[in-house]
Amino acid sequence: MTSIGRTADVLRVGNCSGFYGDRFSAMREMLEGGDLDVLTGDYLAELTMLILARDRAKDPSTGYAKTYLRQVEDCLGLAMERGVTLVANAGGVNPEGLATALVETAKKLGLSPRIGYVAGDDLTSRAGELELGEPLAAHAYLGAFGIAEGLRAGADVLITGRVTDASVIIGPAIAHFDWQRTDFDALAGATAAGHIIECGTQATGGNYSFFEEVGEMIRPGFPIAEIHDDGTSVITKHEGTGGAVTTDTVLAQLLYEIGDARYPGPDVTMRLDQVKVAQVGPDRVSLSGARGEAPPADVKVSCNALGGFRNEMVFVLTGLDIEAKAALVRRQFEDALQVQPAQVTWDLARTEHPDADTEQAATALLSVVARDSDERKVGRAFSNAAVEIALGSIPGFHVTTPPTRGQAYGVFTPGYVPQSAPDHHVVLPDGTRVTIDAPTQTQHVEPLTGEDATLPEAPTGETERAPLGAVCGARSGDKGGSANIGVWARSDAAFAWMVNTLTVSRLQELLPETASLTVRRTVLPTMRSVNFVVDGILGEGVAYNARFDPQAKGLGEWLRSRYVDVPKTLLQEAK
């Protein structure tokens, strides 16, 4: 076996990208900042896959993250000099195309890296036979064993298409420690580490409830996982970089985009309710206790389709009589529309303040969104109607943008196929094609919410009205058309209060937008956390733009801002 680590017992895996568009300089910063064995990057999301699929439909040679190609052009020599292996899912919908482009780039640089790629995730041409409908793109979330095979063969650069986000971290650990398919605990531990660092600086203070405690946040450092042969790890970052690695920054990321306590992946089902997080030094947090179970028999498929066309206009309402002004604008606009789109939705954001000392602070926003399969019905005729009423409408009438054409929007639908359905394979640096067999040991993954566990008794005593965020942190994100809200307490007493107070019905009271939706709660005592999944709040996915916050990034912070009766002892403790 080819080892990719400097030492046998620890593998240092860094990350330099959490999405397509992340900090360009991060690859160089990570390579120059200190020792690494592997540098990974996550460039894919559901919306990104749709964008890349549309790119490739226009030009078959594209469909990958071009940013990564430029980053490697800048840093390949440095990576090879330092002996750092590069692994990224930047291949998007065309990993072979990116691998080919990297080979050409290396030749121009006078370098000869060994480059391989993982493919087989693309099920688009087989979508019908696999009962996935007729999407523009259908890509299975592959696991990490193809990555491991490429690294065992000595790849200096290993490119993938759609794999699970954590797979780019798990794969190097499989190769280095020679883990097998049934090493479930070790695989689960690496999954936890991968889940934390794959979103980049979200693990080092970014998107973090208590950001004012972090310190220097101009350029947070990107995270590193020091993975051990039993799957335990330490999350850290390069010395001297911004941000921080604390139990809370790590907990926040563990709660990001999860469901219940069983976190299924193509290689292992991780038990989140077993994970323990501990501060073991400055900017060093250990992950232990992860337990793994067999993976599900099916693998998830990202199905993206064009849902139709969309247009939006936003009216600015200033000063007094906001609701009356909104009602008049709506009546006038609907009268001016010559063609009726299939769907028209209105939203009034009451952002104005009484007796405001700036015009902007005295302003509310009224938006109207149209959707239709016929581009003409949401085109210039729609947005022109918003302008045509201008001189005969409310006082102070104006809009935020000029009339525009409609834009295509996407719809995400998760699909599931047997683990054996994708043609999972890796093309090694010498051109050899190696098929990656599906796991033979699988299970039906039953939901695990922890609601039947014995919960701690809530503290009693005098209470005070205060924001939930005075004693709890939160992290939220999108899960297809649903969203998750992970909430964690900062002490045992605060958890005992939170877990008894923040029930599903209480959440729906605090967040009225969720009241008509199905909400599921999971209790995670080892992390002093609860997680909520709100089904359908994002409509048909991120690209659908169903609400003001289409990726549910701020949903957790909205929850933290709501006032509840908090025991005074907890408020004193939090100061």
Dump pLDDT digits (tens) for 112-153: 999 999 999 999 999 999 999 999 999 999 999 999 999 999
Share of the chain above pLDDT 70, in %: 99
pLDDT for res 47:
83
- What order of strands is seen across the sheet that includes strand 529-534? 472-479, 482-489, 529-534, 519-524
Name the residue type at position 378. Answer: V
Question: How many Cβ atoms are within 10 Å of 319's Cβ, its own excluded?
Answer: 16
Residue with tokens 């300089």: 25
Q: What is the DSSP letter of 455?
A: P
pLDDT for res 46:
85
| Domain edges within the chain | 10-297+419-435, 305-411, 463-574
Q: Which of these, 325, 320, 319, lies nearest to 389 by C-alpha position?
A: 325
Q: Which residues pair with 306 in a beta bridge?
A: 410
Question: In whole angstroms, what is the distance from residue 202 CA to residue 223 CA?
Answer: 9
pLDDT for res 547:
83
Whether 331 has a pLDDT exceeding 80, the answer reads yes
Whether 238 has a pLDDT exceeding 70, the answer reads yes
- Specify the higher pLDDT residue, 27 or 453: 27
Question: In whole angstroms, what is the distance from residue 4 CA to residue 414 CA?
Answer: 35
Q: What is the residue-averaged pLDDT of the chain?
A: 96
The dihedral formed by the CA atoms of 540, 143, 120 and 431, expressed in degrees to the nearest 10: 150
Q: Which of these, 275, 360, 347, 266, lies nearest to 549 by C-alpha position?
A: 347
Give the tens place of pLDDT for each residue, 383-411. 999 999 999 999 999 999 999 999 988 88
> Strands 85-88 and 157-160: what pairing?
parallel
Residue with tokens 């005969």: 392
Whether 5 has a pLDDT exceeding 80, the answer reads no
> Strands 463-467 and 157-160: what pairing?
unpaired
Residue with tokens 């939930």: 468
CB 482 within 8 A of CB 567: no
> Strands 38-41 and 115-119: what pairing?
unpaired
Which structure tokens are listed for 569? 């002892």
Which structure tokens are listed for 262? 């069983």
Question: In whole angstroms, what is the distance from residue 253 CA to residue 484 CA?
Answer: 12
Give 132's Cβ-side CA count (13 Å radius). 29
Q: Which of these, 245, 249, 87, lies nearest to 173 by C-alpha position?
A: 87
pLDDT for res 1:
37
Q: Which of these, 88, 274, 300, lies nearest to 192 by C-alpha position?
A: 274
Contacts 24+ apart (CB under 8 A), 173-178: 173/11, 173/13, 173/227, 173/231, 174/144, 174/145, 174/147, 174/148, 175/1, 175/2, 175/4, 175/147, 175/148, 175/149, 175/151, 176/3, 176/4, 176/5, 176/11, 176/37, 176/227, 177/11, 177/229, 178/1
Name the residue type at position 448. Answer: L
Give the tens place of pLDDT for each residue, 501-541. 999 999 999 999 999 999 999 999 999 999 999 999 998 88
Q: Which pLDDT band holds residue 3 (cuts at 50, 70, 90)?
A: low
Q: Which pLDDT band holds residue 360 (cuts at 50, 70, 90)?
A: very high
Name the residue type at position 526. Answer: T
In 257-342, beta strands by DSSP E: 262-264, 269-271, 276-281, 284-288, 291-293, 298-318
Quick check: pTM over 0.75? yes
CATH of domain 305-411: 3.30.70
Give the tens place of pLDDT for each residue, 25-71. 999 999 999 999 999 999 999 889 989 999 999 999 999 999 999 99
Question: How many Cβ atoms are within 10 Å of 551's Cβ, its own excluded?
Answer: 18
What lies within 8 Å, CB to CB, of 495 at 6+ separation is: 456, 488, 489, 525, 528, 529
Which structure tokens are listed for 7? 């030492």
What lies within 8 Å, CB to CB, of 68 at 6+ separation is: 17, 41, 43, 88, 90, 98
pLDDT for res 511:
97
Name the residue type at position 249. Answer: T
Question: In whole angstroms, what is the distance from residue 155 CA to residue 234 CA?
Answer: 25
Give the chain's largest Cα–Cα span. Answer: 77
pLDDT for res 128:
96
Question: How many Cβ atoms are within 10 Å of 29's Cβ, its own excluded?
Answer: 17
Q: Which pLDDT band holds residue 544 (cuts at 50, 70, 90)?
A: confident
CB 169 within 8 A of CB 193: yes
Whether 2 has a pLDDT exceeding 70, the answer reads no
In 340-406, beta strands by DSSP E: 343-349, 363-372, 398-399
Burial (CB count within 10 angstroms: exposed 0-12, middle 13-18, buried 19+), residue 270? buried
pLDDT for res 453:
84
Q: Which of these, 429, 426, 564, 402, lies nearest to 498 by C-alpha position?
A: 564
Question: How many Cβ atoms are within 10 Å of 519's Cβ, its own excluded?
Answer: 19
**Average pLDDT of the segment spanning 543-550:** 82
Whether 256 has a pLDDT exceeding 50, the answer reads yes
pLDDT for res 504:
98
Question: In whole angstroms, what is the distance from residue 96 CA to residue 124 CA?
Answer: 16
